[in-house]
Amino acid sequence: MTITGIAAIGAGLAAIAAGIGIGKIGSSAMEAMARQPEMHGKIQSSALILAAFVEAVALFGVVASLI
């Protein structure tokens, strides 16, 4: 579980991946809700499904740096 210094940079870069990806999805989801308020529920569930894909890879990248 010891982590070398350079591996930590990899973990940080993987976290940035989640930041960019989920940030862009969430940003557009908010705007979509504003334009179609009655679609609130469907937009939120779709955003969560897509965000889960980004989350999975990002967390995998952070964990990979720990091994």
Token readout for 54 is 């980004």
Q: How far is the CB of 45 from its own copies (least distance, A)?
A: 9
Q: How far is the CB of 63 from its own copies (least distance, A)?
A: 8
CA 22-9-13 angle, 5° bins: 20
Q: Where do contacts with its own copies occur on this chain (CB under 8 A)?
A: 1-40, 42-44, 46-62, 64-67
Nearest by Cα to 29 from 44, 13, 18: 44
Q: How far is the CB of 41 from its own copies (least distance, A)?
A: 9
